[in-house]
Amino acid sequence: MSTTIHHFIGGESSAGASGRTSPVLNPNTGQTQAEVVLASVDDVHAAIAVAQQAQPAWAALNPQRRVRVIMEWIRLIHANLDSLARTLSLEHGKTLADAKGDILRGVDVLEFCLGAPHQFKGEYSSQVGSGIDTFSLRQPLGVVAGITPFNFPAMIPLWKAGPALACGNAFVLKPSERDPSVPVRLAELFIEAGGPAGVFNVVHGDKQAVDALLDSDVIKAVGFVGSTPIAKYIYERCAATGKRAQCFGGAKNHAIVLPDADIDATADALVGAAYGSAGERCMALSVVVPVGEETADRLRDALVARIPSLTVGHSLDPEADYGPLVSADSLARVRRLIAEGEDQGAELVVDGRGIDTSSSSFDGDGLSGGFFAGPTLFDRVEASMSIYTEEIFGPVLCMVRADTLEEAIAYPNDNAYGNGVAIFTSHGGAARDFLTNVNVGMVGINVPIPVPIAYHTFGGWKASGFGDLNQHGPDSFRFYTKTKTVTTRWPDETSAGPEFTIPVMS
């Protein structure tokens, strides 16, 4: 019998009033393992109202006291890491080790937030004019919201909630309804850590819940990660209602491989970056662009030699390199795009559609109904093909051949997305020219997935990101606070009468 996953509002579980639910599947088996309640507009308004009431007292705490709550929150997440990772793995489909990484990369940002007393500081300038001082201070926005994706159900909520809460805001999270359990548990752990009830709330839902957040006069900022069309929709709607927004969309991440690259090391990096987590990462490398036919042939041979050794299996299987896709729809999309690539003339070197789990099982779970896709490799892909233009979000690697470095750089530069890119080379000058000229937000040099560490900012360009401030790092504190600038002068015996010209500080 499946369980029901409720909202978390005001420090308590809430069934809401909509009466609507959505199934939460185990992607290893395709079977329903829970039902998640979906919020009505009134449910969202209730969460916002609770957050609005709780926020002033939370903001009134000095930053150091807020940080002590976050410090205990970190400890509790570590103490519950195994159970959190298991739940995440069974709802999303990523392996247990990868699920732990999902959580811990979120904790990295919470650890950065322990520096909130420093990040929260303003600036001071003395004697900017005769007897005049100017200073600035940062203040929380009030109630803010996060709308987060299925593919990182711990990391992205923590990237949003951590800085927002450290800054003194109250936070309303709308996670993906596909894997909602871990976000709720993280909110519960925040309360266990000493966080006030109502400061961190979780509402589940679909477009109805999203629009209720976007239309609320109380919500002052929205952080989003998901597809580009929805990112653009949320960004535009936030602009229309006067909200701050940081909205991160899709990706088509490229890896450029130069002739002097270590081909074996590059192939190892590409296999992990393209097929890890079944390709369901916004930073997955889905396109490789070797420079020169000889480089391409060598790299292709190295990839073909490695792919058969990959193990696709149950997400809890310690022998599995990656698990299933998150849903039947995701699997159907991947299969459709593979078929289109073949029809459009790309060379299908390794076809992952042939994976057979009909007789497989793990720990009593039969895998015949699971959403498994084998690793797929295309060669001689053209920029006009749908497997190149669309974000596949599956274990599919496309090889696009280039004759020169300039031609190779043109592929990521001309692509609509600009999330991540990598170059593999042993030539420092070529790498330096590449990072200067490539029009992409995050760059790796011999690093296949260039996700910045927590104290630097994460964000893509072009259709991968909407908004002028990125996630985590110092940008997150700028995003979740407003700056107030104060100019002071204390009257004394030298004060003159009325002044009718604009003040000039000289």
CA 486 to chain centroid = 36
Instruction: Identify the CA nearest to 163 among candidates 223, 217, 209.
Output: 223
Instruction: Identify the CA nearest to 100 among candidates 77, 120, 68.
Output: 77
Rg (CA), the chain: 25
Whether 167 is catalytic is: no
Tokens of 450: 């260039």
How many residues appear in the chain?
506
Instruction: Identify the CA nearest to 152 among candidates 76, 107, 92.
Output: 92
Please state, in angstroms and rounded to a whole number, the distance separating the CA atoms of residues 166 and 171. Answer: 11
Please state, in angstroms and rounded to a whole number, the distance separating the CA atoms of residues 465 and 147. Answer: 15
Q: Are 196 and 168 in contact (CB under 8 A)?
A: no
Residue of 113, 167, 247, 282 marked catalytic = 282
Strands 285-290 and 253-257: parallel
Backbone angles phi, psi at 33, to 5 degrees: -115, -15
Q: Which amino acid is at 332?
A: A
Tokens of 74: 């970190």
Residue identified by tokens 């930073």 is 283
- List beta partners, residue 348: 378
Backbone angles phi, psi at 249, to 5 degrees: -110, -145
Tokens of 156: 């992205």
- 3-class DSSP assignment, residue 306: helix
- List beta partners, residue 167: none
Q: Which amino acid is at 412?
A: P
Distant-in-sequence, close-in-space partners of 243: CB < 8 Å, separation ≥ 6: 214, 219, 220, 221, 222
Please state, in angstroms and rounded to a whole number, the distance separating the CA atoms of residues 486 and 136. Answer: 6
Please state, in angstroms and rounded to a whole number, the distance separating the CA atoms of residues 382 and 88. Answer: 37
Please state, in angstroms and rounded to a whole number, the distance separating the CA atoms of residues 134 and 123. Answer: 8
Active site residues: 282
